[in-house]
């Protein structure tokens, strides 16, 4: 579903952020992407959601080499990937329902047609009472849930989240990971980037992609402790 | 609950509100240039129709009465090939022509007033002006024959060059309008970068994002165009009202002929379309640089 082949990334003339990264995430999988701050987690997600092009290697999404997809077809790929951005990135002048409806509206859906569905989704994330609220009046936990609802409203096959538990209290965080697990049970491929080791330890039944020194190491969910210890030793370039 | 509004928060941004005023000022100048263009065009058409087929013979005034000489010249002229009609301009008519300059009354009586003969050329015919002049000079020394064509040509050339300048002004204004819209759109792209990026990343096509900007530009452009046109209408009304008092030739008065009105009405539409296309092009180019 998402395959990286010897992917390298650098910003301008700076040192490589990613080097020779290989992995293959199968459809319906659930991964944590971890690594210290600045390791390149956000950058790796951006490569998947097509906000960046790799400087080297190939990225294969839904069986298509991204580099060979004509630019005007990229929106269709993006619509199959839901993203919960760091800092939510909601539109400030749009209410919760409008923010969540946006991915449907840009596809040409009529406002009245999507309203019921969007309200239902907001109820699912626990914001049934906050449908008409504006981001400025919401707590970070509420904004995060609006962002999640927006990410999944178009029924994407892949859901990416960048530090989704970053600014919120532990109770909210558990609630949010629970939402991701529910979506994953429905078949969505999930990748959550986080540097929160407690969170990963708590959900240690999911495999972990560990990012350090520009390379990715994949850890078996059955031995998370050893995996983390190996990761902490660091610097091991690896394959999938 | 889902309101009909743009995902790009234009209303929150004050910086582009100057656009209708700038475009308004441009449309105003453009409208005046267009009026000038068409007024001159109409005037030229009128001059051509009035003067193309007329010549004037002028017999200088002498001490003695000129009746005999006038009759002789008239006979020669009437016999000249190509002349459809020749008529002595009566003393009363000359007096009336001179009245605006010399005032009412018989002020002209004491002046040496030349004798004038109006000639109408047969349609399509040519008159050998030089030969005819030599002929009439035998009967009336010093008599001249004037072809209005030469004078008309000079006038037309002058009018054409003014029209050219007016057209250049219209084009210059169009170019300036494009530049202004480009800058305003670029500023908008920078200000609304966040909203644009969000739209882009959730899968909006470039054309969708551009549509938001072009709709906005269309509305601002149309508003500006209408401001400018309204202002131009007031200015033209004032000019038209003021002109008779200045006793400028009626040719320079704005007579709203159909084409001019159509051009004036189309002006704000054209302005709005220029704004729309410019904004679209600017946004599409900027988005094309995004991955
Ligand atoms: N737009 C950018 N331009 C230049 N350098 C960047 C940019 N984004 C990230 N980086 C650099 O790339 C590295 C990885 O950043 P990032 O992907 O945000 O890491 P993480 O999400 O793991 O904290 C950092 O050193 C960061 O400074
Ligand atoms: Mg990050």
3-class SS string, chain B: CCCCCCCCCHHHCCHHHHHHHHHHHHHHHHHHHHHHHHHHHHHHHHHHHHHCCEEEEEECCCCCCCHHHHHHHHHHHHHCCCEEEEEECCHHHHHHHHHHHHCCCCHHHHCCCCEEEEEEECCCCCCCHHHHHHHHHHHCCCCEEEEHHHHHHHHHHHHHHHHHHHHHHHHHHHHHHHHHHHHHHHHHHHHCHHHHHHHHHCCCCHHHHHHHHHHHHHHHHHHHHHHHHHHHHHHHHHHHHHHHHHCCCHHHCCCCCHHHHHHHHHHHHHHHHHHHHHHHHHHHHHHHCCC
Residue B67: burial class (beta carbons within 10 Å; 0-12, 13-18, 19+): exposed
Q: 3-state class of A89 per DSSP?
A: coil
d(CA A198, CA B175): 61
Same domain, B75 and B188: no
Tens of pLDDT along chain A (240 residues)? 899 999 999 999 988 899 989 999 999 999 999 998 889 999 999 999 999 999 999 999 999 999 999 999 999 999 999 999 999 999 999 999 999 999 999 999 999 999 999 999 999 999 999 999 999 999 999 999 999 999 999 999 999 999 998 878 888 888 889 999 999 999 999 999 999 888 899 998 999 999 877 677 777 554 434 334 344 433 333 333
d(CA A143, CA A140): 5
Same domain, B217 and B256: yes
Residue B4 covered by a domain: no
**Under 8 Å between Cβ of A96 and B2:** no
B74, B79, B81, B82: CA torsion to nearest 10: 40
Q: Rg (Cα) of chain A, in Å, rounded?
A: 18
Q: Which of B142, B173, B199 is the last residue of a domain?
A: B142
Q: Which atom of ligand 1 lies at the shortest distance from residue A162's CA?
A: 21
Residue B106 covered by a domain: yes
| pLDDT mean values, one per 10 residues, chain B (291 residues) | 90 80 93 86 77 82 72 87 84 71 62 81 81 86 81 82 89 91 90 94 96 93 93 86 56 64 88 92 93 89
- Label the pairing between strands B115-121 and B54-59: antiparallel
pLDDT of residue B243: 65
Residue B238 covered by a domain: yes
Centroid of ligand 1 to alpha carbon of A126 (angstroms): 33
Same domain, B164 and B276: yes
d(CA B200, CA A106): 10
**Under 8 Å between Cβ of B146 and B55:** yes
pLDDT of residue B109: 63
Q: Is the dihedral of CA B167, B171, B174, B176 positive or negative?
A: negative
pLDDT of residue B65: 65
**Under 8 Å between Cβ of A10 and A21:** no
pLDDT of residue B226: 94
- A35 alpha carbon, closest ligand: 1
pLDDT of residue B162: 86
Same domain, B169 and B272: yes
Chain A residues lying within 8 Å of B12, measured CB to CB: 93
**Which residues of B lie closer than 8 Å to A, measured between beta carbons?**
1-5, 7, 9, 11-12, 194-195, 198-199, 201-206, 208, 288, 291
pLDDT of residue A55: 95
> What is the residue with the minimal CA distance to atom 5 of ligand 1?
A11
Split into its structural domains, chain B has a count of: 2
Same domain, B233 and B181: yes
Query: Which residue is closest to B2 within chain A, CA to CA?
Result: A98
Mutate to test the interface with A, among B2, B5, B193 (most CBs of A within 10 A): B2
Same domain, B174 and B251: yes
Centroid of ligand 1 to alpha carbon of B185 (angstroms): 30
Locus of tokens 């629970």: A178
Residue A33: Cβ within 10 Å count: 27
ipTM confidence:
0.89
* Helix, strand, coil % in chain A, rounded to nearest 5: 40, 25, 40
Query: Which residue is closest to B205 within chain A, CA to CA?
Result: A75
Contact A78 B208 (CB under 8 A): no
Length of chain A: 240
Residue A35 structure tokens:
């690594």
Q: Which atom of ligand 1 lies at the shortest distance from residue A39's CA?
A: 22
d(CA A179, CA A147): 12
Q: Which of B116, B142, B168 is the last residue of a domain?
A: B142
Phi-psi region of A62 (alpha: psi -120 to 50; beta: other; left: phi over 0): left
Domain extent, residue B192, equals 10-48+152-288
Contact A49 B4 (CB under 8 A): no
- A209 alpha carbon, closest ligand: 1
Nearest to B161 by CA among B31, B36, B29, B30: B36
Residue B167 covered by a domain: yes
> What is the residue with the minimal CA distance to atom 24 of ligand 1?
A38
Same domain, B36 and B172: yes
Same domain, B158 and B265: yes
pLDDT of residue B107: 54
Half-sphere exposure of B149 (CA within 13 A, CB side): 12
Same domain, B177 and B120: no
Residue B121 covered by a domain: yes
Q: Which fold has domain A1-80+158-167+188-240?
A: Rossmann fold (3.40.50)
Same domain, B282 and B173: yes
- A9 alpha carbon, closest ligand: 1
Contact A111 B203 (CB under 8 A): no
Same domain, B184 and B116: no
Residue A69: Cβ within 10 Å count: 15
Q: Which atom of ligand 1 lies at the shortest distance from residue A41's CA?
A: 22
Same domain, B182 and B107: no
Q: Which atom of ligand 1 lies at the shortest distance from residue A43's CA?
A: 17
Residue B107 covered by a domain: yes
**Under 8 Å between Cβ of A208 and A34:** yes
Chain B residues lying within 8 Å of A103, measured CB to CB: 202-203
> How many A-B residue pairs are in contact by the CB < 8 A criterion?
71
B96-152 pLDDT, tens per residue?
776 666 666 655 566 677 788 888 888 877 888 888 888 888 888 888 888 777 777
pLDDT of residue B172: 92
Using the 8-state DSSP alphabet, how is residue A101 labeled? H
Residue B88 structure tokens:
């002595």
Q: 3-state class of A169 per DSSP?
A: coil
DSSP A172-226: HHHHHHHHHHHHHHTT-EEEEE---HHHHHHTTTS-EEEEETTEEEEE-TT-HHH
Nearest to B82 by CA among B128, B122, B29, B44: B122
pLDDT of residue B69: 80
Half-sphere exposure of A89 (CA within 13 A, CB side): 22
Our answer on whether the CB atom of A39 is closer than 6 Å to any ligand 1 atom is yes
Query: Which residue is closest to B284 within chain A, CA to CA?
Result: A72
pLDDT of residue B106: 58
Q: Which of B87, B122, B142 is the last residue of a domain?
A: B142
d(CA B226, CA B228): 5
Q: What residue segments make up the domains of chain A, in order of their start?
A: 1-80+158-167+188-240, 87-155
Our answer on whether the CB atom of A13 is closer than 6 Å to any ligand 1 atom is no
């Amino acid at each position: 579903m998402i395959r990286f082949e010897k992917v390298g990334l650098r910003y301008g003339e700076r040192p490589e952020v990613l080097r020779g990264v290989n992995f293959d995430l199968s459809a319906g999988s659930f991964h944590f992407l971890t690594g210290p701050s600045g390791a390149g987690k956000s950058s790796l997600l951006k490569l998947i959601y097509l906000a960046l092009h790799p400087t080297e290697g190939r990225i294969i999404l839904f069986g298509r080499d991204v580099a060979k997809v004509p630019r005007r077809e990229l929106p269709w790929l993006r619509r199959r990937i839901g993203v919960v951005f760091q800092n939510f990135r909601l539109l400030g002048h749009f209410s919760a329902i409008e923010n969540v409806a946006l991915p449907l509206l840009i596809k040409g859906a009529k406002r009245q047609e999507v309203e019921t569905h969007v309200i239902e989704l907001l109820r699912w994330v626990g914001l049934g009472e906050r449908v008409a609220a504006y981001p400025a009046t919401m707590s970070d936990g509420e904004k995060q849930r609006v962002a999640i609802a927006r990410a999944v409203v178009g029924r994407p096959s892949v859901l990416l989240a960048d530090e989704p538990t970053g600014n919120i209290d532990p109770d909210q965080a558990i609630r949010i990971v629970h939402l991701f697990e529910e979506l994953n049970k429905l078949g969505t491929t999930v990748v959550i980037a986080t540097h929160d080791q407690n969170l990963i330890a708590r959900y240690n039944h999911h495999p972990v992609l560990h990012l350090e020194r520009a390379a990715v190491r994949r850890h078996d969910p059955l031995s998370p402790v050893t995996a983390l210890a190996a990761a902490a030793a660091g610097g091991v370039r690896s394959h999938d | 609950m889902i309101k009909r509004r743009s995902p790009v928060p234009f209303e929150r941004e004050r910086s582009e509100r100057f656009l209708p005023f700038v475009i308004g000022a441009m449309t105003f100048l453009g409208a005046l240039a267009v009026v000038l263009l068409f007024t001159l065009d109409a005037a030229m058409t009128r001059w051509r129709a009035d003067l193309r087929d007329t010549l004037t013979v002028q017999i200088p005034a002498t001490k003695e009465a000129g009746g005999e000489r006038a009759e002789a010249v008239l006979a020669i002229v009437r016999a000249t090939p190509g002349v459809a009609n020749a008529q002595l301009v009566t003393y009363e008519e000359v007096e009336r022509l001179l009245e605006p300059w010399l005032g009412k009354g018989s002020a002209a009586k004491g002046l040496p007033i030349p004798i004038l003969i109006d000639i109408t050329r047969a349609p399509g015919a040519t008159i050998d002006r030089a030969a005819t002049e030599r002929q009439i000079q035998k009967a009336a020394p010093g008599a001249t024959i004037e072809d209005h064509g030469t004078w008309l040509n000079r006038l037309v050339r002058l009018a054409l060059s003014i029209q050219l300048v007016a057209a250049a002004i219209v084009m210059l204004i169009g170019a300036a309008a494009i530049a202004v819209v480009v800058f305003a759109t670029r500023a908008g792209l920078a200000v609304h970068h966040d909203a644009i990026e969000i739209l882009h990343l959730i899968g909006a096509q470039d054309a969708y994002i551009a549509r938001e900007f072009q709709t906005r530009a269309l509305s601002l452009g149309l508003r500006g165009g209408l401001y400018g046109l309204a202002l131009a209408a007031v200015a033209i009304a004032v000019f038209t009202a003021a002109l008779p008092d200045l006793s400028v030739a009626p040719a320079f008065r704005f007579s709203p002929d159909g084409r001019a009105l159509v051009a004036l009405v189309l002006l704000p539409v054209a302005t709005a379309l220029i704004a729309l296309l410019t904004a679209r092009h600017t946004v599409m180019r900027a988005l094309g640089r995004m991955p």
